[in-house]
Chains A and B, each alone.
Chain A
Amino acid sequence: MKRLENLKDSGDKAFVAYIMAGDGGLDKLRGQVEYLQATGVTAIEIGIPFSDPVADGPVIEEAGNRALAEGVTLNKVLLEMKNWDFDLKIPLIVMTYLNPVIRYGAERFAESCREAGVSAVIIPDLPFEHQQLVEPYLKKTGITLIQLVTLTTTENRLEDILGAAEGFVYAVTVTGITGVRDELTQEVKEFMKTVRSKSPVPVYAGFGISRLEHIELLREDVDGFIVGSAIVKAFHDNKIENIEPLIHAVTQRNPV
């Protein structure tokens, strides 16, 4: 929690990296987290594989299927994280669909997240209206439930959702699923400005962020970026070093 709260004070643009837990085997997760931390990311989203990831595009879905084939489960990921003994300086965020949480038990999930050192949780198919299912338990264990807003979020909803936002707001930059994209429109820029003007917490842009041009287009209008598919793909292709320029373009004030 503290680590998450520090984000808003730092003044730098944040880079949140998403990885699929267990893509290539759960024993890889620790190394990936250590690598990303060393590269200077602000926070890491750890994705839990799910059989029916309807909010995700093909890159993350396939990574999830590979992880499922490795026998990765929510329980195993949280146990793995609980056992980490290296010096973790950045917040870890668990991103999971709702069903594994319900099956695991929302209260037990909150408790296990706490034990695993998780700072925040993102559940893409748990809409604002139904957050009572999980949120009270997370709150009790001091874990933040991250709110999502999208281009299609109506004005009234936006106010309601932002009113409940803690940690940061996940602003979805496309109408669509996660994935690498060529273009982001001016509409997105305007949307980010609106969200940022109303949000009590930092606003991070995610879904479809994969190129330096995306970063440049939105840099002035957001507090940070969330990059998923591009990182998942790079890890899978063993070319993670290719992502470093993207990370540094965000986190270093004077990018090369």
Chain B
Amino acid sequence: MTKVKICGLQELEHVRAASTADAAGFVFAPSRRRISIEQAAALAAELPESVEKIGVFVNAGLDEVLEAVQKVPLSMVQLHGDETDDFIRSIPVKVVQAFSVRDIEDVKKLERSIADFVLVDAPGIDFRGGSGRTFDWSLLGGASIDPERLIVAGGLDAVNVGQAINSLAPYMVDVSSGVETEGNKDADKIKIFIKTVKGDSMQQTTGTVKETGFFGRFGGQFVPETLMKAVKELEAAYTEAKDDADFQADYHKYLKEYVGREQPLTYAARLTEAWGGPKVYLKREDLNHTGAHKINNAIGQALLAIRMGKRKIVAETGAGQHGVATATICALLDLECVVFMGEEDIRRQQLNVFRMKLLGAKVESVTKGSATLKDAVNEALRYWVTNVEDTHYLIGSALGPHPFPTMVRDFQSVIGRETREQILDKEGRLPDVILACVGGGSNAIGMFHPFVEDESVRLIGVEAAGEGVDTARHAATLTKGTEGVLHGAYMKLLQDENGQVQEAHSISAGLDYPGVGPEHVHLEDIGRVEYKAVTDEEALASVIKLSRLEGIIPALESAHAVAEAEKTAAAMGSDEILIICVSGRGDKDMATYAEKLEGLA
């Protein structure tokens, strides 16, 4: 995507408006936009690290340039005069050489530049440097300039910049007078220019939106004001608890003594043989007390709630696994527990409903909307808004307003940390591929997070394709969704063109959510994690496969990861290693299996 440079900044207000740009220009040459090195240093200090600080000079002495580079400090230098190649080589940071292009001769000069980047501008009128007149872009048509080195300036504004980008696809566009009103920079014009170049999404604003709680440009705290205090308190409490050795010791004690961790990384010999590719390992979250990974998070949050003096818990549940985990931990720690569950899910997951009731939780049926997970979250949020002073919302996936996505990820990261140690122990090296299913994405983010920095490890999240991603009945948010805000976070959603959130469908009650955790959206955005989608039918086939080959009946959710693993394994060699996160066991899905797989026995 084309980068944006805002040039000729002189005032703090405008520097702040430019904080979402990729580069800020400070002019040290004679110009009405000229500032001193000291002024530039003060302004540069207000900019995020990620914004390039570029000093603009015209035939300045090398000493002056070097002083500015050191004192501001500048990350790039832009030269508009008759500087020699030797001069350019003497500059310790990247150099932009600017050319006023009037005719084809000028284009040839530009082609010979040894600078890291070349900037094309319309000829100056009063001073050398930018003139603000629009450049005749067609002149560059035949030039052999790598677009990755090209910066375009000269009379750009929010109206014509699209044309410049379309015709030249430059590395960066440079604007100065185009974001001014009556000769002064205009903060609104700066923001709009940046937005125009970077597209109509949140991309352009996360820098000005307070950064806390964002993964790239996803996440945030999009909740009604009534909840802000609770969300901020939770943020503070979690930040403190996270680094408290006693809290961590308590949490790990419960994981060990109560949940039964650590869980094995089981070598799946028959699956390995059947697929004829990589060595297949299974991370056995199905062996956790209550039957799935959900309890890792429920314990952590319940302990945090107690630490915050809250003894009432509200939760939502889809498949019922999180509801059961929450009800279990509330029974153990003597907390009041209300669980909202969609009517449709209650029908599909009767066993879990009964378990929650047996554990002493109140299960509230949600009949609104699609009567599934999304609607259960709505009701849980409403309940929390109303009872916020004494109630903790124990959200079950890596969703919701900050700090929930981070906190849930941290509590689930025990999955990935154990896996990492175990595979190093067994194989002496990291795996080649790891797969995990993604609804909201908590088991996946917990599994992936300790591996994100290991570039050799391919990470694959598996969504529910329901009846197919090209039908109206699926839950493949990352594959088919678009950006939007739901349940407190900026993420990807299944929604219509009017921003109404649509119903998600999957045979698996734990995957049919029309959003996905913001960190997953970010990991997809930066290309670190791949996301694939598996249909109901494929998942069911994998249930049979894993049951008969390994004696492990997986939850429907986990079966999605198994199905994609089979496809992935087909292209892998026998010297490679593949790990599947078996997030839960299939007990809860027996009614569905009995119905769908009838005749199998």
Contact = CB atoms under 8 A, between A and B. Distances in A.
Q: Do A and B come from one complex?
A: yes
Given A74-B498, A99-B501, A176-B386, A54 B224 contact: yes
Interface in B473-521: 482-488, 493, 495, 497-502
A75 interface: yes
Contacts of A161: 225
B200 interface: yes
Contacts of B502: 51
B369 interface: yes
Contact of A51 (B188, B220, B369): B369
Contact of B385 (A107, A127, A149, A176): A176
A140 B485 CA distance: 23
A50 B378 CA distance: 12
A175 interface: yes
B385 A133 contact: no
A119 interface: no
Contact of B226 (A99, A103, A105, A175): A175
A75 B496 CA distance: 13
Contacts of B484: 99, 102-103
A153 B486 contact: no
Q: Which size bracket describes the interface of A in this complex? A: 35 or more
Contact of B188 (A54, A57, A101, A140): A140
Contact of B221 (A99, A129, A148, A152): A129
A157 B226 contact: no
Interface in B132-183: none
Contacts of B500: 50-51, 68, 73, 100
A148 B498 contact: no
Contacts of B385: 54-55, 175-177
B495 A127 contact: no
B487 A52 contact: yes
A194 to B, nearest CB: 15
Contact of A54 (B228, B381, B497): B381
Contacts of A150: 224-226
Contact of B501 (A52, A55, A128, A153): A52
B546 to A, nearest CB: 35
Contacts of A50: 499-500
- Secondary structure type dominating chain B contacts: mixed
A139 interface: yes
Contact of B493 (A73, A99, A124, A125): A99
B205 interface: yes
Interface in B435-491: 482-488
B229 interface: yes
Given A52-B486, A176-B226, A100 B499 contact: yes
B486 A99 contact: yes
A124 B227 CA distance: 11
Given A136-B188, A175-B386, A102 B202 contact: yes
B200 A107 contact: yes
A154 B224 contact: no
Nearest to B369: A51
Contacts of B485: 97-99, 102, 125
A127 B225 contact: yes
B209 interface: yes
A152 B210 contact: no
Nearest to B382: A177
Interface of A: 50-52, 54-55, 57, 61, 68, 73-75, 97-107, 124-130, 132-133, 136-137, 139-140, 148-154, 157, 161, 172, 175-177
23 contacts: A52-B486, A55-B224, A55-B226, A55-B385, A75-B498, A98-B222, A99-B485, A100-B498, A102-B483, A102-B484, A103-B495, A103-B498, A107-B195, A124-B224, A124-B225, A129-B221, A132-B205, A137-B192, A140-B188, A148-B225, A149-B225, A152-B388, A154-B229
